[in-house]
Amino acid sequence: MDVLVPICVCVVLPVMIVWLVVRAKQNETNRKAEVMLKAIESGATVDPNLLGKEQTKVKTIKQELLEKLTGACVTTFMGIAFLSLSYLDKSLYFLRFSPIAGAVLLAVGLGLFISFFVGRKMLSKEIEAEEKALKE
């Protein structure tokens, strides 16, 4: 059992994540192809760029800062959780490294919090200008 958990986390989990991402993109491409085939069959005009490059969504500065805040919250709470796991029984193999992982995650989370607050202060005028432009 002590070997099974690290193997699942280090091998099976990454493989499943990659498989799910590839499958989702393949399903999206298949749906677009079906729509194009039906449009061609019905004689409608088809945008040739539909299956090409995906249209990138432009993120505002505020959205980028909020994503940074979300990452900060998640990594900080994970760091706290790993540090609290270090007080549990040390007989489980994967709990031996929880203080190190907790300290690293907590440091990354705090760094992201600092980055968020500094960025919010420095970019406040740009955020206001973007919000004003979006309202108009």
Is the pLDDT reported for residue 28 higher than 80? yes
State residue 54's pLDDT score.
Answer: 59
DSSP state at residue 12: I
Is the pLDDT reported for residue 50 higher than 70? no
**Global pTM exceeds 0.75:** no
Pick 6 or 129 by higher pLDDT.
Answer: 129
Q: Counting Cβ atoms within 10 Å, is residue 39 exposed (0-12), middle (13-18) or buried (19+)? A: middle
State residue 34's pLDDT score.
Answer: 87
State residue 85's pLDDT score.
Answer: 83
State residue 18's pLDDT score.
Answer: 94
44/40 Cα distance (integer angstroms):
6
Domain ranges of the chain: 1-56, 57-136
Is the pLDDT reported for residue 3 higher than 80? no
Identity of the residue numbered 84: S
- The predicted-structure confidence for 57-107, as pLDDT tens digits, reads as follows 778 888 999 999 999 999 999 999 888 887 776 666 667 778 888 899 999
Is the pLDDT reported for residue 20 higher than 80? yes
- The predicted-structure confidence for 109-119, as pLDDT tens digits, reads as follows 999 999 999 99
State residue 53's pLDDT score.
Answer: 60
